[in-house]
Structure formats: structure tokens, C-alpha cells
Amino acid sequence: MRVLEPSMSEVVHMALGLAHRGFRGRITAISAAAETSGVPADELERRLLELGFTEGAQVEILHEGLFGRDPIAVRVNDATVAIRRREAMAILVS
């Protein structure tokens, strides 16, 4: 998994957790690492999938919190989901 700066987002994967407000893209992979979150990787992956974060879904970061720009409100196709950047690291987008 390569994590790159937002400026290169058009060409390669990057983690949604690093993107800024206004970012639009498509999910390319859900790839949870064990150290990403407080829950096991497999559990985090399934929770993200259940909230509609699936490969191919369109995402847009609509809002950010005040402190540390966290959490973020993400438009996923036709729904809006609040999520912390920490968990959003497992969502790869392009």
C-alpha cells in the first residue's frame, strides 16, 4: 500500500484519511492494516463495507472537524458518513 500526497491523487492510490476537504474520487481498495484502528483489521474492513465504503463507490469529503481536521464527513454515493481520519486511512482512493 502506497500512501502519497494529495497532489498526486489523480494518478495513484492514496488514503482517504490524508485527503483534504473538497476531495473527490473513487474508492480503489479497502485495505485495513492491523495497526490502523482500535479494532482488528478484518473487523474494520467489514464495518467500512457495511457503511457502503466499497470499491468503485464515489467519495467526496464534505466537512472536517475543528481540531486536527478530524473527523471527516464523507459523501459515499448517495449517503453521508462521519468517520475519523484514522479509520479513513484504510480507504484507498484515486
Partner 1 sequence: MSVSSQAEPLHFALIGTPNSGKTALFNALTGSRQKVANYPGVTVERKSGMLQTPGGRSVNLIDLPGTYSLRARSPDEEVTRDFVLGRFKSEAAPDLLLCVADSTNLRLALRLVLELKRVGLPLLLVLNMIDIARRRGIDIDLDKLSAELGVPVITAAAVRRGGTDDLMRRLDELALATEAARAEAAWQPPTAGELRAAQREADRIIAASVRTPAAPDTLTARLDAVLLHPVAGLVILLAILFVMFQAVFTWAKPLMDQITAGFDALGVLSQSWLPEGLLQSFVQNGVISGVGSVIVFLPQILILFLFILLLEDLGYMARAAFLMDRIMGGAGLHGRAFIPLLSSFACAIPGIMATRVIDNPRDRLTTILVAPLMTCSARIPVYTLIIAAFIPDKTVWGFASLQGVVMFGLYAAGIVSALGVSALAKFMFWRESPTPPFMLELPDYKLPRPRSVLMGVYTRAKMFLHRAGTTIFSMMVLIWFLASFPRPPEGAAGPAIDYSLASWIGHAMEPVTKAIGFNWQINVALIPGMAAREVAVAALGTVYAIEGGKENAAQIGQTLAQHWSLATALAVLAWYIFAPQCASTLAVIKRETGSWKWMAVTFGYMLALAYIAALITYNVAAALGAA
Q: Which residues bind partner 1 (CB under 8 A)?
A: 30, 37-39, 42, 44-52, 54-56, 62-71, 73, 77-84, 86-87
| Alpha carbons 36 and 80: distance in angstroms, whole number | 22
Helix H or strand E segment including 72: strand 72-76
Closest CB 34 distance from partner 1, rounded Å: 10
Strands 14-15 and 91-93 come out as antiparallel
Say if residues 88 and 74 touch (Cβ distance below 8 Å).
yes
Choose between 1 and 10: whose C-beta lies nearer to partner 1.
1
Closest CB 8 distance from partner 1, rounded Å: 26
